[in-house]
Amino acid sequence: PAKVVLVTNEVGMGIVPESRLARHFRDIAGRVNQQLAAAANEVWLVVSGIGVKIK
């Protein structure tokens, strides 16, 4: 097994986007992030350069 690092946007902590396209992106990105996190051995959230281990 190889180590893989994925970097993605956190899309679930903000306001609901006004445009339909932005809402669609948020929904799809959120679902993909959930699936990736479920399959991962470790999940980290980095805020202002500070890493927080989620899983």
CA gap 7, 31 in Å, rounded: 15
**Quick one: pLDDT at residue 45?**
96
* pLDDT above 90 for 53: yes
Domain range for residue 28? 1-55
* pLDDT above 90 for 1: no
* Amino acid in position 32: V
pLDDT one-digit tens code per residue, 24-50: 999 999 999 999 999 999 999 999 999
pLDDT one-digit tens code per residue, 12-31: 999 999 999 999 999 999 99
**Quick one: pLDDT at residue 3?**
92
Query: Taken in order 44, 8, 26, 16, is the CA torsion positive or negative?
Result: positive
> SS3 string of the chain?
CCCCCCCCCCCCCCCCCCCHHHHHHHHHHHHHHHHHHHHCCCCEEEECCEEEECC
Q: How many domains does the chain have?
A: 1
